[in-house]
Structure 1
Amino acid sequence: MSGQPSTGPEHSGARLLVPSLMFIALVVAAVGSLGTPLITSVATTFHVSLDSAQWTLTIALLSGAVATPVLGRLGAGPHRRATILATLAIVVAGSALTVLPLPFAWLLVGRAAQGVGLGLTALMMGVARDHLPEERSAPTIALISVVSIIGAGVGYPLAALLAEFGGLRVAYSLGLLVTAVAFLTAWRSVPKAPEGRSAHLDLPGALLLAGALFLILFLASETSLWSHHLVLAVVLALVAVLLLCVWTATELRSKTPLVDVRAVRHPAVAGANIAMFVGGIGMYLLLTLITRYAQTPHSAGYGFGLTTFVAGLVLVPFSVLGFVAGKLTPRVRKRIDGPLLLAGSAVVVGAGFVLFSAARSNLAELFAAMGVLGFGVGSFSAAMPGVILAVTPKSETSSAMSFNYVVRSVGYSLGSATGGLVLAAGTATGHLFPNDGAYTTAALVGIVAMAITTITSLTLARLRSRETNPTDAPRQDRPSR
């Protein structure tokens, strides 16, 4: 860097770079989750079914998953700042569509545009790694990862409160306000990418991956398809697998791949993504179980019949303890290797499942389980980037983390679907709500998922130990001459 002071937005935002990156990551996560507490309000306001209203959440997750790898590749090039600003402009425009008195189809278009912002988290990490010294970039990246998770806990109760007292449009106005502020924040503080970068978008690869992800997330969200149209669901699943195989073959042959598949095959990266996938299933499963249990009316024989707003407050300990864990993890990582932190975090989430399965007779126990989940998810999310970026070049930060976030999105979607399927199986004919034992069964599924995550992380830690200490590996006797 030259000693000459820079000018323009890069200079004016230099001092606020870290809080700006955190704020942008928090905003896109919170806005992406706005659909969750507003589904009932959407159904009543637009006179559509709950299944149709559910698409205000599903379509945001779909567009986010599809946009993430594309933005990751664009963010690895020289036009990262322009990519960030253009994406936030799309999110602001989408937020405006959710507020304007337009038909339901336009609301879905707006939510899809908002979901595109979910792909910005990895770009925020790339900016931090390029423009901050090592001692600041690592903890900043860890916290960006955490706030991208706890954003739901921030946006959920606020949106629910606004919807309860001001109506649906007022609740969506919150998204328009914060996304506009995020755009102005990025304009003033996000610097240009370092010189010498290049990134070419692999359009065929992007289309293949988009098609595969769309089918996977569609099948995960439309759980009724598996029970009523099993053959069609299986065919679509096979098509998704075929598209992924073709995409992988295309990426391996491409000189400018959308995702560097060869780098993804590195044991550290592959192991981390497997842990993220299986762990994501378990983490989102428990989040789904607790919030659904809290809102179940007393007439079901269990539950607390909480309103949407009060149920949103159950997420407060999740967000608070998740942030605390995110702050502590970078310090702990100086003494404990990243994969071991992933394993420990998976054990903590598993403990949350055990607590929920054994004790959920009062709200305090639900708050405790949600707090344990938040701490585990926070530490897991904070440790994950370090494991992947330890073997990733700086120029590939956005692309590598984008792929990890796609894996996370798929895992979360499957976690939500798993919860829905298990609870549906535990619902007797003619009843609206599952029996209480179905929640215990779902919790056991989650415990298995976190056990697999723990084993995967410990295996990864063992491989890392052998790489850094080759003398510890078993030695083979040399053949005698």
Structure 2
Amino acid sequence: MTRTTTDPHTRRPNGSGIVPVLAFAGIVVAVMQTLLVPVIKDLPELLGTSPGNATWVMTSTLLAGAVSTPIMGRLGDLYGKRRMLIASLAVMVVGSLVAGFTSDLLVMIVGRALQGFAMGAIPLGIGLMRDGLPREKLGSAMALMSSSIGVGGGLALPVAALVAQHADWHALFFGSAGLGVVSIVLTLIFVPESPMRAVGTFDAPGALGLSAGLVLFLLPITKGSDWGWTSGTTLGLFGAAVAVLLLWGVMELRVKAPLVDLRTTARPAVLFTNLASIMVGVAFYAVSLVLPQLLQLPASTGYGLGQSMVVAGLCVAPLGLTMMFTAPVYARISAKYGPKVTLMTGMLIIAVGYGAGLGLMSAAWQTIIIAVVLGAGIGLAYSSLPALIIGAVPASETGAANGLNTLMRSIGTSVSSAVIGMVLANTANQVGGVAVPTMHGFRVSFMIATGAVLLGLVFAAFLPGRRAAANAAKPHLVASSDPLSEPAPASASAPAYISTSTSTSADLVTTGFRGRVLTSEGSPVARAKVTLIDRRGRQAGATLSSADGGYALAVPAAGAYVLAVTAGGHGPLASGASHPGDDRSIEMDLALPGATVLA
């Protein structure tokens, strides 16, 4: 079982530059993903190859990103999230330069695969925010980081289209490399290393097994429409993926420090969040595939909007920009109702956007409306996912758990790309020997996205709600799912190490946790009950906050704990924390949500 220690050589961040710098890193990743979208139809000619082979330029990035994301998350937990973030960006810069200097297909595929390593920046950035920011800033910061993938994509499309129209297309890769270098420099200057470390070893066999299983699974998804969904190659790879992933799962359950803690992943809060993430990924990518093609098709088709590459990019750009502006909205909704409600609200808005889109495809301004509505919904949904994951796992598993969640979104986009690509290909008309997507195909694609997001709503309905938060003092809701870690009542046979101090001074405790209990607006909360709960579900200490909100609790030993806070007129709070067991006092402010009425 992994635990968390604090690296004594790291300094505590003040939070001033962390959020914009990490959000910029997320935008850089999104730019890398979307920079070839404007020239995707021209890739076979540019690389002197067949359309089927040219698709590997996109597929290689997807596969590398899917494989590297959980691995980089785990390495970040073990050796430093900032260190791994910089490493991910550095590999992306190398890949960008490799692709920028070649027109050879195989070398281009290698460069694009190296670019895919940047996908780990999103979960690593979220983990750095959790470890370094005050709680009152964490909600909106994570929302911005999570939605940065859409922001970057929305901004990159028109810019990439402009560059592709007026310059050598290789300039796209040099621009990506330049943004990566800027992101690395900003991270080195403004983002301190996280002091949190998981104690354990890196599970190399688990990494190899997961990589093999993911490649075997995602390869037929991305190439199934070319090979044939019932071909021996496609079915054989799917069968091999199932076998490899099952063997990998059995192995991970027997390893002391697994790459992915499957017991944690099986918790309802984590499992259903990841399932919902797949559906959000499907819905997010569908609009990116449909709207640019609809806008660029010639008006002579009877339904195409006849816009240039640049105008099409500008019409789709509000998708990402709206995601950025929903971050503060998410923070308000989530503080009042919880991230589950925010996720479900976002999914409902997505369903409305796609439903309305079925009748709003006859003018460019209508596509902008679709992009804005879908951007708002996707922004709320994406912003909720890291908060749901972080609230369900110990601090030592933040990087790996968010990496797995990002992987689930990637699987969603992969499935969306394959299924919608197949739909558009099978419903296309041949015009002058060229396959042209039809309006029927566009509408079927929107219906598939609507169905996916409605299924995601079903998954989200099974997530724990505010009633679970009301029982925050009951640690079985947040402690490890390991059977040996089930809660035990505090009794004579299970000593609780209860602190009987209710002093108004937080200076009496010098070893353990200290800080202030605050409202979401930053005002102190007096006489709030702060309870310390260990991993076995036993109360390890309790105290009341002083007039200025101050509290202090001693810890009986090193390990992971939960700080549960209750106060009249405020919703309860349960926050994971870890202590190395030495003589230091870890500062941790606790921000309570607003007043809550529970059924």
TM-score, with structure 2 as normaliser: 0.73
In structure 2, the residue matched to 1:57 is 58
8 Å contact 1:36–1:57 — kept in the other structure? no
Give 1:228 shift.
7.0
8 Å contact 1:339–1:387 — kept in the other structure? yes
1:129 aligns to 2:134 (yes or no): no
1:322 aligns to 2:298 (yes or no): no
In structure 1, the residue matched to 2:478 is none
Q: Distance between the aligned counterparts of 1:377 and 1:304, measured in 2?
A: 25
User: Given the superposition, is the C-alpha separation of residues 242 and 328 from structure 1 closer, same or farther in structure 2, using an over 3 Å criterion?
Assistant: same
8 Å contact 2:24–2:183 — kept in the other structure? yes
8 Å contact 1:78–1:198 — kept in the other structure? no
In structure 1, the residue matched to 2:452 is 449
Q: Which amino acid aligns with 2:306?
A: G
In structure 2, the residue matched to 1:352 is 353
In structure 2, the residue matched to 1:265 is 266
- CA offsets 1:32-87 (integer angstroms, 9 cap, x no match): 22222232454333322333333222211111111001000001113333322222
Moved more, 366-375 or 433-442: 433-442
Moved more, 82-91 or 41-50: 41-50
The equivalences for 1:263-412 within 5 A come to 263-412=264-413
In structure 2, the residue matched to 1:465 is 467
> What RMSD, in angstroms, separates the aligned Cα atoms of the two structures?
2.4
Aligned length: 463
Q: Residue 358 of structure 1: SS of its match in structure 2?
A: coil
Normalized per residue, the structure richer in strand is 2
Give 1:155 shift.
1.6
Q: Residue 462 of structure 2: SS of its match in structure 1?
A: helix
Q: Distance between the aligned counterparts of 2:13 and 2:38, measured in 1?
A: 37
Q: Distance between the aligned counterparts of 1:41 and 1:295, measured in 2?
A: 14
Q: Distance between the aligned counterparts of 1:132 and 1:226, measured in 2?
A: 48
Moved more, 240-249 or 187-196: 187-196
Q: Which amino acid aligns with 2:440?
A: G
8 Å contact 1:91–1:117 — kept in the other structure? yes
Q: Which amino acid aligns with 1:176?
A: A
User: Given the superposition, is the C-alpha separation of residues 365 and 148 from structure 1 closer, same or farther in structure 2, using an over 3 Å criterion?
Assistant: same
- CA offsets 1:404-429 (integer angstroms, 9 cap, x no match): 00010001110111111222232357
Q: Which amino acid aligns with 1:438?
A: G
- Give the gaps of 5 or more residues in structure 1: 1-5, 471-481
Q: Which amino acid aligns with 1:343?
A: M
In structure 2, the residue matched to 1:96 is 97
User: Given the superposition, is the C-alpha separation of residues 254 and 155 from structure 1 closer, same or farther in structure 2, using an over 3 Å criterion?
Assistant: same
In structure 2, the residue matched to 1:433 is 436
Give 1:30 shift.
1.3
Q: Distance between the aligned counterparts of 1:370 and 1:14, measured in 2?
A: 32
User: Given the superposition, is the C-alpha separation of residues 443 and 40 from structure 1 closer, same or farther in structure 2, using an over 3 Å criterion?
Assistant: closer
1:253 aligns to 2:257 (yes or no): no
8 Å contact 1:78–1:193 — kept in the other structure? no
Q: Which amino acid aligns with 2:213?
A: A
In structure 2, the residue matched to 1:212 is 213
User: Given the superposition, is the C-alpha separation of residues 291 and 260 from structure 1 closer, same or farther in structure 2, using an over 3 Å criterion?
Assistant: same
Q: Distance between the aligned counterparts of 2:337 and 2:227, measured in 1?
A: 43
Q: Distance between the aligned counterparts of 1:134 and 1:86, measured in 2?
A: 27
Q: Residue 432 of structure 1: SS of its match in structure 2?
A: strand
Moved more, 442-451 or 186-195: 186-195
Q: Distance between the aligned counterparts of 2:27 and 2:222, measured in 1?
A: 24
User: Given the superposition, is the C-alpha separation of residues 102 and 44 from structure 1 closer, same or farther in structure 2, using an over 3 Å criterion?
Assistant: closer
Q: Residue 162 of structure 1: SS of its match in structure 2?
A: helix
Q: Which amino acid aligns with 1:288?
A: L
Give 1:332 shift.
1.3
Give 1:300 shift.
2.9
Q: Residue 414 of structure 2: SS of its match in structure 1?
A: helix
8 Å contact 1:225–1:233 — kept in the other structure? no
In structure 2, the residue matched to 1:479 is none
In structure 2, the residue matched to 1:474 is none
Q: Which amino acid aligns with 2:445?
A: A
Q: Residue 197 of structure 1: SS of its match in structure 2?
A: strand
Q: Distance between the aligned counterparts of 1:77 and 1:228, measured in 2?
A: 40
The equivalences for 1:220-231 within 5 A come to 220-225=221-226, 227=228, 230-231=231-232
8 Å contact 2:316–2:367 — kept in the other structure? no
1:140 aligns to 2:131 (yes or no): no
Q: Residue 460 of structure 1: SS of its match in structure 2?
A: coil
Give 1:12 shift.
9.9
Q: Which amino acid aligns with 1:297?
A: P
8 Å contact 1:295–1:305 — kept in the other structure? yes
Q: Residue 76 of structure 1: SS of its match in structure 2?
A: helix
Give 1:254 shift.
0.9
Q: Distance between the aligned counterparts of 1:461 and 1:79, measured in 2?
A: 31
Q: Residue 306 of structure 2: SS of its match in structure 1?
A: coil
- Give the gaps of 5 or more residues in structure 2: 1-7, 473-599
8 Å contact 1:39–1:56 — kept in the other structure? no
Q: Residue 285 of structure 1: SS of its match in structure 2?
A: helix
Q: Distance between the aligned counterparts of 1:308 and 1:200, measured in 2?
A: 49
The equivalences for 1:77-88 within 5 A come to 77-88=78-89
The equivalences for 1:57-206 within 5 A come to 57-101=58-102, 103-194=104-195, 197-206=198-207
Q: Distance between the aligned counterparts of 1:228 and 1:299, measured in 2?
A: 33
8 Å contact 1:40–1:53 — kept in the other structure? no
Q: Residue 283 of structure 1: SS of its match in structure 2?
A: helix
8 Å contact 1:78–1:192 — kept in the other structure? no
Give 1:253 shift.
1.0
Moved more, 198-207 or 101-110: 101-110
User: Given the superposition, is the C-alpha separation of residues 208 and 7 from structure 1 closer, same or farther in structure 2, using an over 3 Å criterion?
Assistant: closer
Give 1:101 shift.
4.2
Give 1:229 shift.
5.7
TM-score, with structure 1 as normaliser: 0.90
In structure 1, the residue matched to 2:22 is 21
Larger radius of gyration: 2
User: Given the superposition, is the C-alpha separation of residues 12 and 106 from structure 1 closer, same or farther in structure 2, using an over 3 Å criterion?
Assistant: farther
Give 1:14 shift.
6.2
Q: Which amino acid aligns with 2:38?
A: P
Give 1:273 shift.
0.6
Q: Distance between the aligned counterparts of 1:433 and 1:102, measured in 2?
A: 27
Q: Which amino acid aligns with 1:64?
A: G
Q: Distance between the aligned counterparts of 2:125 and 2:260, measured in 1?
A: 18
Q: Distance between the aligned counterparts of 2:229 and 2:457, measured in 1?
A: 35
- CA offsets 1:317-354 (integer angstroms, 9 cap, x no match): 10111111122101111111211211111111111111
User: Given the superposition, is the C-alpha separation of residues 442 and 340 from structure 1 closer, same or farther in structure 2, using an over 3 Å criterion?
Assistant: same
